[in-house]
């Protein structure tokens, strides 16, 4: 039976790959993905050295390749990988851009790779963003000539933008284009807004290798991670070649590989709807997913699906397995219904530890269940893992300083606050966009967010004593880009786990956070739990919530928690307490101009509406949670009751 299962899985995978026009590898662990790609780069470096010639690498910037560069540095330090015979060419650079700017790709590459390995600086090439406009054309031609003189690029690293751009080759780029100055698409500039502390500070142009330059590389590795890349990945891999989506041109390349985590690969046909490709192993989770998909495709409630519906939508084999549509419908209806957990079925009288990456993720993502848990008399601690201070506008600092000055003028506090106020105002007056804040400004911004967080949980029935501010070290760079999670971060999380001894833990499980902070905060929690509970024995159950950008699909969720109209209103009031993030947040995320509370309201209502369309119970709003590590949904061989 096991051999037959593997045969069917391999057949579905082959059929999926046939639909995929670019070879694709799915590696869910980000560290393993980085090791895989870095290992390929290292193999080329060593092979070229053995041949007595240079390895020529095309390199990329941004958050995507950071793990790869860290692994290359490790290989250099621990395994003797030498870069003495390596020549590099970077994809792009903003224009205009000084090489020493905090936003410069020149600075990025030296900070994250070149200064840590034995590469010859003369063999490092990056497009220059500090040239006079009249000199740019000649410089881009010289860049192309330098690539040719080096013998061409052996392997090119790429990321992919939301528009499908590679490098800065925006929609409409000529597939034969070469290195040149380009105007940046509005979506690209909006994506970069967080790094520049505001879209208005993002350059409108960039110098980039062309699509033709990229395609000339002998090998290409393109990397994408996170749910927010899933749609464009599917378009690039399975769609037709289209100049409006530059990444589709990679289908013409004979040696391109896409490296994806599971989130970025989620919309590929072989993972999203494998049943349309042929035979699959009909597990219960896959059955639930397929039937929910069928219900939405036919716009029928689950219990109203007919044999014809199954036959007409590639699900005849599922029907044959169960014999009747009624049996399948009932199985799925009961399976999804078992996931609904109202207040009476939620934990009572337990120790609950909530990890919130930023000082508002708790109320944004789980404000409803937090209120219910408080009503159920659980002992709750909310641990804010980072200060979130970079997400406070400077004008908020000025406003709070003004309050301090007025208090001092009224004799209510010591008048030496004026010295602080003068220092802060002077710094803000000379501050450049993206410049790291002074220690005093960072502290004020941290305190603003802490006070808002306390006010938020008090709205939900908790007290100020429930709040803990961990201020994890990895976040304290003062910049958008953070350090990797280290032993000090894990030790702080572990100490809190040892103190609270929770029976239930909540943590952010979404991977689409544009800053990567949610992903890193979950890593800190999981590493601390692994240290305390080797093998998982005795560990608390961990419920994962998602942030402001996405919700768990109802077929993936372990628990679905209904909210009444009054409970959703209370949750929104708690979100309102985060005034520094209201109206116009510094990092709103994605391309959604709605405020956080508006997105939350729409998301929670839509989850409830979907349950209604599937024919389940009708609720006003619903929050969704996934129990980390649970092998099967409730009622399918796993723990079916709440902890």
Q: Are residues 330 and 265 in the same domain?
A: no
At 433, the pLDDT band (50, 70, 90 cuts) reads confident
Say what percent of the chain tops pLDDT 90: 78
- Judge whether 192 and 93 are in contact, CB under 8 Å: no
635 domain-assigned:
no
Position 139 scores a pLDDT of 98
Residue 406 CB contacts under 8 Å (≥ 6 apart), including other chains: none
400 domain-assigned:
no
Range 486-503 average pLDDT: 97
1 domain-assigned:
no
Position 591 scores a pLDDT of 57
Q: Are residues 256 and 176 in the same domain?
A: yes
pLDDT tens digits for range 86-99: 999 999 999 999 99
Q: Are residues 484 and 515 in the same domain?
A: yes
Position 513 scores a pLDDT of 53
Q: Are residues 327 and 382 in the same domain?
A: no
38 domain-assigned:
yes
Instruction: Give the whole-angstrom CA distance, residue 245 versus residue 226.
Output: 19
Total domain count, the chain: 3
DSSP state of 111: H
Half-sphere exposure of 359 (CA within 13 A, CB side): 32
Burial of 337 (0-12, 13-18, 19+ CB in 10 A): middle
Q: Are residues 296 and 388 in the same domain?
A: no
pLDDT tens digits for range 251-260: 999 999 999 9
Position 277 scores a pLDDT of 93
Candidate from 242-251, 508-517, 622-631 with smallest mean pLDDT:
508-517
Position 634 scores a pLDDT of 53
Q: Are residues 299 and 186 in the same domain?
A: no
Q: Which of 118, 150, 154 is nearest to 43 (CA)?
A: 154
Q: Which of 139, 38, 49, 127 is nearest to 88 (CA)?
A: 127
Which segments of 218-261 does DSSP mark as H helices, in order? 230-238
Residue 349 CB contacts under 8 Å (≥ 6 apart), including other chains: 376, 377, 378
Range 307-333 average pLDDT: 96
Q: Are residues 485 and 383 in the same domain?
A: yes
CATH number at residue 104: 3.40.50.1360
640 domain-assigned:
no
Position 12 scores a pLDDT of 45
Position 640 scores a pLDDT of 32
- Judge whether 560 and 604 are in contact, CB under 8 Å: no
Q: Are residues 225 and 182 in the same domain?
A: yes
Range 204-216 average pLDDT: 97
Q: Which of 104, 22, 107, 30 is nearest to 71 (CA)?
A: 30
Own/partner long-range contacts of 2-10 (Cβ < 8 Å, ≥24 apart): 5/281, 8/279, 8/280, 8/281, 9/280, 9/281
Position 633 scores a pLDDT of 54
Q: Is the pLDDT of residue 208 over 60?
A: yes
DSSP letters, 578-615, are -GGGSSS-S---TT--S-HHHHHHHHHHHHHHHHHHTT
pLDDT tens digits for range 275-287: 999 999 999 999 9
CATH number at residue 491: 3.40.50.10320
Tokens of residue 266, six digits: 């989620």
Q: Are strands 504-508 and 351-356 parallel, antiparallel or unpaired?
A: parallel
494 domain-assigned:
yes
Position 165 scores a pLDDT of 92
The residue annotated as part of the active site, out of 170, 238, 567, 601, is 170
| Most confidently predicted of 227-236, 292-301, 426-435 | 292-301
Position 346 scores a pLDDT of 98
Position 152 scores a pLDDT of 98
Residue 185 CB contacts under 8 Å (≥ 6 apart), including other chains: 163, 165, 170, 171
Q: Are residues 385 and 529 in the same domain?
A: yes
Q: Which of 481, 509, 473 is nearest to 66 (CA)?
A: 481
* pTM assigned to the model: 0.85
Instruction: Give the whole-angstrom CA distance, residue 423 versus residue 124.
Output: 41
pLDDT tens digits for range 341-398: 999 999 999 999 999 999 999 999 999 999 999 999 999 999 999 999 988 999 999 9
| CA dihedral over 353, 356, 362, 366, signed as positive or negative | negative
Q: Are residues 65 and 119 in the same domain?
A: yes
Catalytic residue check, 170: yes
Identify the domain containing residue 502 by its residue range.
346-392+437-627
Q: Are residues 506 and 525 in the same domain?
A: yes
pLDDT tens digits for range 590-604: 556 788 889 999 999
pLDDT tens digits for range 128-180: 999 999 999 999 999 999 999 999 999 999 999 888 999 999 999 999 999 99
102 domain-assigned:
yes
Q: Which residue has the higher pLDDT, 626 or 636?
A: 626
416 domain-assigned:
no
- Cα–Cα distances (Å) from 568 to 357, 547, 601, 629, in that order, read 22, 16, 7, 29
Range 64-85 average pLDDT: 96
Q: Are residues 145 and 35 in the same domain?
A: yes
């Amino acid at each position: 039976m096991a051999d037959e299962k593997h045969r069917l899985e391999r057949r579905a995978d082959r059929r999926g790959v046939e639909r995929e026009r670019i070879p694709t590898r799915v590696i869910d662990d980000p560290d393993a993905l980085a090791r895989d790609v870095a290992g390929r780069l290292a193999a080329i470096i060593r092979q070229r050295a053995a041949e007595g010639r240079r390895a020529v690498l095309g390199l990329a910037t941004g958050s995507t390749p950071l793990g790869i560069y860290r692994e290359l540095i490790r290989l250099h330090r621990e395994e003797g990988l030498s870069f003495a015979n390596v020549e590099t060419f970077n994809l792009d650079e903003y224009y205009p851009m000084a090489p020493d700017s905090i936003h410069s790709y020149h600075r990025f590459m030296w900070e994250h790779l070149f200064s840590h390995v034995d590469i010859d600086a003369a063999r490092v090439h990056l497009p220059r963003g500090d040239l006079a406009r009249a000199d740019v054309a000649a410089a881009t031609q010289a860049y192309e000539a330098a690539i040719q003189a080096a013998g061409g690029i052996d392997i090119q690293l790429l990321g992919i933008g939301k528009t499908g751009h590679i490098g800065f080759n925006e929609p409409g780029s000529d597939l034969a284009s070469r290195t040149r100055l380009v105007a940046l698409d509005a979506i690209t500039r909006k994506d970069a807004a967080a790094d520049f502390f505001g879209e208005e500070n993002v350059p409108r142009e960039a110098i980039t290798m062309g699509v033709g330059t990229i395609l000339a590389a002998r090998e290409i590795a393109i990397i994408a991670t996170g749910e927010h890349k899933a749609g464009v990945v599917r378009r690039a891999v399975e769609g037709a070649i289209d100049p409006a989506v530059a990444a589709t041109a990679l289908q013409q390349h004979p040696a391109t590989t896409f490296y994806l985590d599971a989130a970025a690969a989620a919309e590929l046909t072989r993972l999203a709807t494998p049943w349309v490709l042929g035979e699959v192993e009909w597990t219960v989770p896959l059955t639930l997913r397929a039937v929910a998909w069928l219900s939405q495709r036919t716009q029928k409630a689950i219990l109203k699906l007919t044999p014809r519906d199954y036959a007409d939508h590639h699900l005849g084999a599922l029907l044959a397995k169960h014999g009747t549509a009624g049996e399948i419908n009932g199985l799925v209806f009961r399976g999804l219904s078992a996931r609904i957990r109202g207040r009476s079925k939620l934990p009572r009288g337990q120790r609950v530890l909530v990890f919130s990456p930023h000082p508002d993720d708790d109320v944004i993502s789980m404000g409803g269940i937090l209120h219910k848990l408080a009503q159920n008399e659980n002992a709750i601690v909310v641990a804010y893992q980072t200060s979130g201070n970079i997400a406070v506008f400077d004008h908020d600092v000025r406003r709070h300083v003004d309050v301090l000055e007025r208090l001092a003028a009224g004799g209510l506090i010591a008048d030496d606050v004026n010295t602080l106020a003068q220092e802060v105002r002077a710094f803000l007056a000379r501050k450049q966009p993206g410049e790291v804040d002074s220690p005093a400004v960072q502290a004020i911004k941290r305190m603003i967010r802490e006070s808002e967080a306390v006010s938020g949980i008090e709205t939900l029935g908790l007290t100020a004593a429930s709040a803990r501010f961990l201020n994890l070290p990895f976040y304290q760079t003062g910049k958008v880009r953070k350090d990797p999670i280290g032993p000090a971060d894990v030790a702080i999380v572990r100490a809190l786990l040892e103190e609270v001894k929770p029976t239930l833990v909540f943590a952010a499980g979404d991977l689409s956070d544009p800053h990567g902070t949610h992903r890193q905060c979950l890593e800190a929690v999981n590493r601390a739990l692994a240290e305390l509970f080797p093998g998982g024995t005795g560990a608390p159950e961990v419920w994962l919530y998602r942030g402001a950008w996405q919700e768990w699909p109802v077929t993936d969720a372990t628990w679905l928690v209904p909210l009444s109209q009054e409970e959703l209103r209370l949750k929104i009031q708690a979100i309102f307490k985060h005034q520094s993030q209201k109206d116009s947040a510094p990092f709103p995320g994605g391309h959604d101009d709605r405020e956080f509370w508006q997105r939350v309201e729409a998301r929670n209502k839509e989850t409830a509406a979907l349950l209604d369309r599937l024919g389940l119970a009708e609720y006003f709003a619903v929050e969704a949670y996934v129990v980390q590590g649970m092998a099967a949904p409730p009622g399918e061989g796993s723990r079916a009751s709440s902890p």
